[in-house]
Structure 1
Amino acid sequence: MSTATLTSKGQMTLPKEIREDLNLKAGDKVDFVKVGGRYELRPRNLRAADFAGMLHRPGMRAMSVEEMDEGIAEAVRERSERSLDRD
């Protein structure tokens, strides 16, 4: 287990092994998220560009922005129709 000490200014240095494990570098941000009665440390060192291609399926062509917009509009219409049918 690693330990960090809080300074009088409320600052702490994350131990090297944790920084390396989370791939944190100087300037990276970290979120502290309350989960029940505990806090989780979550690194925010990924950019949107890091997710590029993550959902790609080999053999499928990429959709255009227009096709994506049409798909979203269709899903919204279907959801709206379902909610109206319940009333």
Structure 2
Amino acid sequence: MTSATVTSKGQITIPVDVRTVLGLSAGDRIEFVLNEATGRYELVPAVQSVKALKGIIGKPRKPVSIEHMNAAIAGQGVWKR
């Protein structure tokens, strides 16, 4: 079984064999997901292809002009202040 030690700052070094299996490299992000069935946390790579975003937002009902987009952006900027 592979293990790691938690430092006083709450940091760990993920062992190389675990990084290899997960496909992790320097700079990658990971997520800790609670498995409610087991009550344990799972380490999951937070790396997704940009292609995974395809279809996340539906097509607009009618075409939107650049002017309408700019007006909407300008309106949000003023509203947030």
Q: Same fold (TM over 0.5)?
A: yes
Q: Give the structure 1 partner of residue 48 of structure 2.
A: 46
How big is the shift at 1:69? 3.3
Structure in which a larger fraction of residues adopt helix: 1
Letter in 2 for 1:47: S
Identity of aligned residues (%): 44
TM-score of the aligned structures, taking structure 2 as reference length: 0.58
Q: CA deviation at 1:35?
A: 1.3
Provide the secondary structure at the position in 1 that maps to 2:59: helix
What pairs up with 1:18-37 in 2 under 5 angstroms?
A: 18-36=18-36, 37=39
Output the TM-score relative to the length of structure 1: 0.54
- Write out aligned runs for 1:6-85 (5 A): 6-36=6-36, 37-49=39-51, 51=52, 69=59
Higher relative contact order (CA 8 A, sep 6+): 2
For 2:9 and 2:41, locate their aligned partners in 1 and report how far apart those are by CA, in whole Å.
20
- 5+ residue gaps, structure 2, are 62-81
Which residue is equivalent to 1:4? 4
Residues paired across the two proteins, number: 55
